[in-house]
Amino acid sequence: MKYAHPGEPGSVVSVEPRYENFIGGKWLPPAEGKYRVNLTPATAKPICEVPESTPEDIETALDAAHAAARQWGETSTAVRATVLNAVADAIDAHRESLAVAESWENGKPVRETLAADIPLAADHFRYFAAAARASESHTTEIDANTIAYHFHEPLGVVGQIIPFNFPLLMAAWKLAPALAAGNCSVIKPASPTPWSILKLAEVIGDILPPGVLNIVNGPGGEIGKALATNPRIAKVAFTGETVTGRLIMQYAAQNIIPVTLELGGKSPNIFFSDVMAADDDFLDKAIEGLVLYAFNKGEVCTCPSRALIAEDIYDEFITRCLERISRIKQGNPLDTETMMGPQVSAQQLAKVSSYVDIGRDEGAVVLTGGHKAHVDGEYSGGYYYEPTVLKGDNKMRVFQEEIFGPVLAVTTFKDEAEALAIANDTLYGLGAGVWTRDGSRAYRMGRAIQAGRVWINCYHQYPAGAAFGGYKVSGIGRETHQMMLEHYSQTKNLLVSYDPKAMGLF
Amino acid sequence: MRTEETARRVVATPAARAAIERLCRRGQVMFVQSGGCCGGSAPMCFRLGEFAVGAGDLLLGHVGGCPFYIDAALYLAWREPQLLLDVEPGSAEGFSLPAADGQHFVVRS
């Protein structure tokens, strides 16, 4: 089925001509009254206007967050969990409209937002509601008269800067643990995707106490910086690219606050000979596993953008994969049959295109794709790129640089040792995939690959409860796991003496 | 350090140099090459001194009198090309300064 475009008659999503910042439970216009137009990449036409805030709006948001921080922080975990569960229920109840809004703004296919992004976002709040309820702290008997009591206390107000590729899910990954741990948040959405999170705020805004969630849209250099350098935040969390990640860490140093960073990747997806041992469900799954580089049009930090295929199965396996890729349906992201939507922006499209040119120049062979995609009718102006496969070697730029598009770099390996060497020959260490019927090999490879998330016989699964984060320059800290509650808390130690006698020092 | 060669490792189009000159009226800028991901491999433009350069960063050269840095390991992974700094329509990536209203810096290599 095809969903009507947001704002059009019959659409499940209403669109105002202009949206405001969400601060203190209210919709507030930006202080300087500046707005900019937000486009849909499906047609390159406007969706609505959003605020082009200034640092003053960050201060207003921090005022609201701080006004709410004490009460929210002192609320029992049981009550906080109830609130977060209500947030999850509201997201579930509005799954379709949130999915359509996010799909239209980002370009990702609605089948993905309906099946993955939105349900995962709701589940994230449930997971952290449960984790917060179940969390306990330790008591240590130092000696017969001295007890150390430990308490996890909220940090207070945190700043969170999220990327464009999963606007709602990344918001959930940041908000759920922060709020569960008793903090209030000021979020700065990414410039290409400022609106779908505002639709989320329409759905959950009344459920959260005012000031617990604040959303300020504006240019990164101004708003992101005003937030990250602000002495009134106790932590900054960032998902994005490396240079900005370094800058955020630097800003955090100025105020001595903790940082979690989720940065880029060039994740290897490794296919051993035994995947072709039988023409069965598992082989079919492995083929899909390779084609997952096209998931979210390749705009994923963990995109399995390098496929390493055992030499002896290469010809047959790649033939099967290319056939699967040829069946990728590309076009209107609001059509539930569409598998690949447009890239998020004109500049991302230009970047993908130039990388494929670089690949050609350095001798990579284009096995399929390699051009901007021709899409018919009203979508002909959108930012579409063909699913592309380049064959080459791991030293090529297209094997080392993060393209962030539907471009797969393919190479072969002779044996396990070579597969491992190629897999680890990258600056990054975010994700990896290992496909084999041999469990011991899977385990050996998984432990030897220098990445924070190794998928074994699967890929692109992001359940809460599985820790996610990077090795090497791919970042620090782990998300989607209850350990995040600690990242968003500080430990108070009460060291209590029950001894009536002085120490005898003075 | 082979200064003559490294000075040629980054060059700028006239449009980029004009943008740099306009930006510099409010103070010097610096460029730090981004590594891809959602930043689109854009050259990030900051006020001089904003970004703390470290021992792992390579000074590729100067454009319009402003330093251009890239992580040394990243530059090796890029196979040490000559970078051409240009401007294009679009929003500045990350925390980068825009080149001008509605324009951002890009590199071609």
Q: Active-site residue among A301, A303, A321, A386?
A: A301
The contacts of residue A70 (CB under 8 Å, 6+ apart) are none
How many other C-beta atoms are found inside a 10 Å radius of the C-beta of residue A500?
6
Whether residue A402 and residue B41 make contact (CB cut-off 8 A), yes or no, is yes
A interface with B, Cβ–Cβ below 8 Å: 163-165, 190-192, 219-221, 224-225, 240-244, 246-247, 250, 263-265, 299, 301, 345-348, 350-351, 354-355, 358, 362, 395, 397, 400-404, 427, 473
Alpha-carbon span A134 to A77, nearest angstrom: 9
Alpha-carbon span A128 to A132, nearest angstrom: 6
Alpha-carbon span A19 to A27, nearest angstrom: 8
Which pair of tokens denotes residue A158? 């945190």
Q: Which of A222, A243, A246 would best serve as a mutation to test chain B binding (most B beta carbons within 10 A)?
A: A243
Residues in chain B closer than 8 A to A240 (CB atoms): 37-39, 94
Q: Is the pLDDT of residue B1 over 60?
A: no
Q: How many CB pairs under 8 A join A and B?
A: 115
Residues in chain B closer than 8 A to A362 (CB atoms): 79
Residue of A nearest to B36 (CA): A402
Q: Active-site residue among A20, A52, A112, A262?
A: A262
Which pair of tokens denotes residue A366? 């284009």
Q: How many CA atoms lie within 13 A of A401 on its CB side?
A: 29
Helices (H) and strands (E) in chain B, counts: 3, 7
Q: Kindly report the backbone phi and psi dihedral angles of residue A465, in degrees, each rounded to the nearest multiple of 5, phi listed first.
A: 105, -10
Q: Kindly report the backbone phi and psi dihedral angles of residue A342, in degrees, each rounded to the nearest multiple of 5, phi listed first.
A: -75, 160
Q: Which of B47, B71, B95 would best serve as a mutation to test chain A binding (most A beta carbons within 10 A)?
A: B95
Structure confidence by residue, pLDDT tens digits, B77-100: 999 999 999 999 998 999 999 999
Q: What is the 3-state secondary structure (H, E, C) of B31-44?
A: EEECCEHHHCCCEE
CB A343 within 8 A of CB A164: no
DSSP run (H or E) holding A128? helix A118-134
Identify the residue with better confidence: A293 or B5: A293
Q: How many CA atoms lie within 13 A of A478 on its CB side?
A: 18
Whether residue A190 and residue B38 make contact (CB cut-off 8 A), yes or no, is yes
> What's the pLDDT score for residue B3?
52
Residues in chain A closer than 8 A to B97 (CB atoms): 221
Structure confidence by residue, pLDDT tens digits, B9-26: 999 999 999 999 999 999
The contacts of residue A95 (CB under 8 Å, 6+ apart) are A114, A118, A119, A122
Distances A368 to A350, A359, A463 between C-alpha atoms, Å: 18, 13, 32
Q: Is the pLDDT of residue B7 over 90?
A: no
Whether residue B91 and residue A397 make contact (CB cut-off 8 A), yes or no, is no
CB B89 within 8 A of CB B99: no
Q: Kindly report the backbone phi and psi dihedral angles of residue A388, in degrees, each rounded to the nearest multiple of 5, phi listed first.
A: -125, 145
Which pair of tokens denotes residue A370? 């390699």
Q: How many CA atoms lie within 13 A of B42 on its CB side?
A: 28
Alpha-carbon span A355 to A401, nearest angstrom: 9
DSSP run (H or E) holding A102? helix A95-106
How far B7 CA sits from the closest chain A CA (Å)?
A: 22
How far A40 CA sits from the closest chain B CA (Å)?
A: 14
Classify residue A220 by its DSSP letter: I
Strands, E assignment, A281-327: 306-310
Alpha-carbon span A108 to A297, nearest angstrom: 7
Sign for the CA dihedral angle at A472, A477, A478, A483 comes to positive
> What's the pLDDT score for residue A72?
98
> What's the pLDDT score for residue B39?
80
Alpha-carbon span B40 to A243, nearest angstrom: 12
Alpha-carbon span A385 to A357, nearest angstrom: 13
Which pair of tokens denotes residue A26? 């209210």
- The full length of chain B comes to 109
Which pair of tokens denotes residue B85? 């700094």
Residues in chain A closer than 8 A to B51 (CB atoms): 243, 246-247, 250
Residues in chain B closer than 8 A to A472 (CB atoms): none
Which pair of tokens denotes residue A17? 């001509």
How far B4 CA sits from the closest chain A CA (Å)?
A: 25
> Residue A113: what residue type?
T
How many other C-beta atoms are found inside a 10 Å radius of the C-beta of residue B1?
6
Strands, E assignment, chain B: 10-12, 29-33, 43-47, 57-63, 66-71, 83-89, 103-108
Q: Is A301 a catalytic residue?
A: yes
Alpha-carbon span A25 to B10, nearest angstrom: 48
3-class secondary-structure state, position A329: coil
Residues in chain B closer than 8 A to A298 (CB atoms): none
DSSP notation for A247-279: HHHHHHHHHT--EEEE-----EEEE-GGGGSSS
Whether residue A400 and residue B108 make contact (CB cut-off 8 A), yes or no, is no
Alpha-carbon span A207 to A440, nearest angstrom: 48
How far A397 CA sits from the closest chain B CA (Å)?
A: 5
Residue for token pair 């009198």: B65
Residue for token pair 């929210």: A72
Question: A31-46 as b/e, with b when 16 or more CB fall inside 10 Å?
Answer: beeebbebbbbbbeee
Alpha-carbon span A412 to A407, nearest angstrom: 17
The contacts of residue A115 (CB under 8 Å, 6+ apart) are none
Residues in chain A closer than 8 A to B34 (CB atoms): 241-244
CB A376 within 8 A of CB A271: no
Residue of B nearest to A191 (CA): B91
pLDDT by residue for chain A (506 residues), tens only, comes to 999 999 999 999 999 999 999 999 999 999 999 999 999 999 999 999 999 999 999 999 999 999 999 999 999 999 999 999 999 999 999 999 999 999 999 999 999 999 999 999 999 999 999 999 999 999 999 999 999 999 999 999 999 999 999 999 999 999 999 999 999 999 999 999 999 999 999 999 999 999 999 999 999 999 999 999 999 999 999 999 999 999 999 999 999 999 999 999 999 999 999 999 999 999 999 999 999 999 999 999 999 999 999 999 999 999 999 999 999 999 999 999 999 999 999 999 999 999 999 999 999 999 999 999 999 999 999 999 999 999 999 999 999 999 999 999 999 999 999 999 999 999 999 999 999 999 999 999 999 999 999 999 999 999 999 999 999 999 999 999 999 999 999 999 999 999 999 999 99
CB A369 within 8 A of CB A293: no
How far B61 CA sits from the closest chain A CA (Å)?
A: 18
CB A215 within 8 A of CB A198: yes
Whether residue B37 and residue A241 make contact (CB cut-off 8 A), yes or no, is yes
How far B60 CA sits from the closest chain A CA (Å)?
A: 16
At residue B8 the predicted structure's pLDDT band, cuts being 50, 70 and 90, is: confident
Closest C-alpha to A230, from A69, A60, A70, A67: A60
pTM score of the predicted model: 0.96
Q: Kindly report the backbone phi and psi dihedral angles of residue A391, in degrees, each rounded to the nearest multiple of 5, phi listed first.
A: -100, 135
Alpha-carbon span A399 to A364, nearest angstrom: 10
Which pair of tokens denotes residue B103? 């324009």
